[in-house]
Chain A
Amino acid sequence: MNPAALRSLRIQLAGHRQQALERSRQRLVIGVLLFAAVTVLIGLRLMDLAVLKAIDRSTRQPDILASVRPPRADILDRNGEVLATTLKVQALAVRPQKVIGDKEQLARRIVEVLPHLELEFVRRQMHSNAKFRYISRRLSPDQVNRINALGEPGLEFHDEAERVYPNGTLAAHVLGYTNIDGRGMAGIERAFDARLSPGEQLNKPLKLSIDVRVQHALEYELNAAMEKFSAIGAAGLVMDVHSGELLAMTSLPAFDPNAVSRSPSETWFNRATQGVYEQGSTFKIFTTAMGLEEGIVTLGKRYDVSQPIAVGRFRIRDYRSNYKNLSAAEVFMHSSNIGTALMAVDMGPEVQQAYFRKLGLLEAAQIELKESSQPLVPSQWSKVSSMTMSYGHGIAVTSLHVATGIATVVNGGIWRPATLMHVPAGTVAATGERIFSEQTSKTMRELMRLVVVQGTGKKADAPGFRIGGKTGTAEKPGVGGYQRKSLITTFAGAFPMDDPRYVVIATLDEPQGTKETYGFATAGWNAAPVMKAVVQRVGPILGVEPNVNKDVDLRPMQQYIAGKQT
């Protein structure tokens, strides 16, 4: 090769090297960039996971403490005692397709732990074609542990809420109950289902006007009376006369809200708000009060009660027929049907109807509960029905109606609806409607006290508590007219009569006479002692101090009352 050609080749070669070098450098840059890109990508992803996702997670993650919140709000009494609460329990379920062990053996082992289950039932659930089957609800923690120890992945536990009523049957009709899905089915649970269900107020327990201690005293004494007089049922109320708050309300026999289905179905019925009964002589309170208010009745006005009144096919007669001529005060004191019917005649049906309407006796009693019955009122407000209604026959209302009415009569004359909601002290009670004057209310208080001091309600007199009230005995309607032997006896009263604070109603359904009552089964013998016993127990609790030196001044009454009449 000549040198010239060699030189040119060298140049050429140098150009090749140059090019190769260039290319490899480019490749290197691409490689570096690739690596850098991957690194950046990983870094970004790390950042995403560690920072952004973490923030996201921490905000999205449900608050652990929120899981403690009960799925249904608690119900408390007026002093904060728990009446209904919700606990977390666990339920056992099986996913038959996921069971890996021997199903027969597994079923046997489950029954060993849960002896209340039938082996056949568990086996059926195991072999079911369904994806998911419940085996048992309400397991104890110990049972959960033992089933967990079986180590079967096909078995599952589910958190479930269980409504617990710690006081058992106490105030059952007030509280009501919930079904297995936690929906309120009766009582407060039903009436306030939305309020108690998950929502804004879930953490705030619902505070009732009920006082557990008063409720218990009332139920205990009514139960005792039911047993003593072989009654088939009883109802009772304790109500604040000024606010309309119900401190106790009971219907006996009661059901256990923890196991409603195990209680007989007749116990589900709330006698105090659903049971409409003819209330008998307690209605004389209303008749006398409206007569006084209208100025038609004065305490000294005399009524001829010597003869039964024959009106239509009825004969209005007195329980004791040895009175001749009674003053209005005596008519009330001795509970004369004839005298009260004569008052109603003087007043006329229109006045009576107007007052009954104002007292809320013609519509379902006002209360938060949905179990509130319409009263039974005659379709025609005739003279006859007006006369019988004056002493509580021919009109059937609930005990709650009577309690609200009596609260109106004794509290100074202002009608307020009954309530089961706690009215905190100091808050203004629901605005009421004035029905009776202060003066009428005062006179009625004296009359009611008179009944207990000298009249039919002597057995209700608890020393020092200044109880006043009225007995009422009504025959239950049955096949072919009234049944003289099946009675509904009521004592409706209030205490202390010099400044009434609480209305108490005690009703017994079909009480029987006993040796101590000389065979009598009327209210003065069986319902009045309940009143006394209840007031003696709840009076001190409610801050009513018994004082034998203090009483309603009955001296103005004495001029209208003759000595022993024969």
Chain B
Amino acid sequence: MRYYTGIAMALATAVSAVVCFAVSLEVGGRRDEVIALKRQIASDMREVRRLQAEWQIRVRPMQLQRMNDTYFGLTAPTADRYFASAESYVAFAADANSVPQKAQVIPAIEQPATPFEAPRTYLAKATDTGDAQLVALTSDGPAVAMRLPSATQIAAARKPRPQAPGFGADAPKVHLASWSDDTPGSGRIQLAAWTPEPSPAPAAKPKPKPAKPAEAVPAPRKETEVAMRAPEPAPARASAPVVRESYAAAIPAGAAPLSGLDSATIASIERLAAIEAGTQ
């Protein structure tokens, strides 16, 4: 009996020793993992700091200014580009000649999803209601920001349905420009403008798809959308729903609605197109 007790105790000791060793080994391993993770975190945090600094260097205002001066020519919005009241916005939106009332998000320079994506400027983001930035091209500047009134303000302004004087024929029209990505490498700029003639019902237009906003550029009238080619000849698209011709030809001398882009802006967009197309 005592003989078996001894064996049992020896066995128990051996087993517990093995188990204890395994546990401590496991603990040690885990501890090493934790330390390694901490090291990784520390190195990542350092990297984050470095990248933050690098990002800050890349987006330093001086640099952005240079890029803006070279490619976009955006300027601060002037007083005449703000809606003074909700009424003026409602009148603007109700005007068939002005921006369509349906929500639109039209990036000014839309391009294929490349790892090196250029900054997007949203030239038009008009929503029916709510606070939003409406950025548009007008006759005396490339891009402007218009502050939209809130939903309640619009509703209040709508109730006593104003006579909607709208904006006269000589009022700034909203021009939208977008980068077309349907033919890779073509470097085509689409420009859309709303002509003084009433456009088709806005609701009939395709809703913008968030994934490919460039396609959402509505063409209210065939002849109002023009395409501008990069110096490199772009293959004509068979399914193109619009008449495509050179930009210069699309603008008769003294044409009001499309003269919104000054020559410098056109030049900068063309240059950007050329760069994107890899010809420069």
Residues of A within 8 A of B (CB): 50, 63-65, 67-68, 70, 81-82, 85, 87-88, 164, 166-168, 170, 212-213, 215-216, 220, 462-465, 536-537, 539-540, 545-549
Contact = CB atoms under 8 A, between A and B. Distances in A.
Given A65-B42, A170-B62, A85 B49 contact: yes
Q: Which 5 A-B residue pairs are closest in the complex by CB-CB distance?
A: A464-B79, A166-B56, A216-B61, A546-B79, A64-B38
Contact of A536 (B41, B61, B76): B76
Contact of B82 (A220, A537, A546): A546
Given A50-B24, A167-B56, A87 B49 contact: yes
Contacts of B80: 463-464, 548
Interface in B189-223: none
B79 A548 contact: yes
B46 A546 contact: no
B150 to A, nearest CB: 14
Given A167-B57, A464-B82, 16 more contacts: A65-B42, A68-B46, A82-B53, A82-B56, A85-B53, A87-B53, A164-B57, A166-B53, A167-B56, A167-B61, A463-B78, A537-B76, A540-B77, A540-B145, A545-B82, A547-B84
Interface of B: 24, 35, 38-39, 41-42, 45-46, 49-50, 52-53, 56-57, 60-62, 65, 76-80, 82, 84, 145, 147
B61 A540 contact: no
Contact of B84 (A50, A170, A549): A549
Contacts, number: 81
A70 B35 CA distance: 20
A545 B146 CA distance: 11
A236 to B, nearest CB: 15
21 contacts: A50-B24, A65-B38, A65-B41, A68-B42, A68-B49, A82-B52, A82-B53, A166-B53, A166-B56, A166-B57, A167-B56, A168-B62, A170-B60, A216-B61, A216-B65, A462-B79, A539-B76, A545-B82, A546-B77, A546-B82, A547-B82
Given A64-B38, A464-B78, A220 B65 contact: yes
A336 B159 CA distance: 55
Given A164-B53, A166-B57, A547-B84, A64 B65 contact: no
Q: Which secondary structure characterizes the binding site on chain A?
A: mixed
A490 to B, nearest CB: 23
B42 A465 contact: no
Contacts of A546: 77-79, 82
A165 to B, nearest CB: 9
Contacts of A168: 60, 62
A524 to B, nearest CB: 22
A540 B76 contact: yes
Contacts of A536: 76, 78
A549 B82 CA distance: 11
A85 B48 CA distance: 12
Nearest to A538: B76
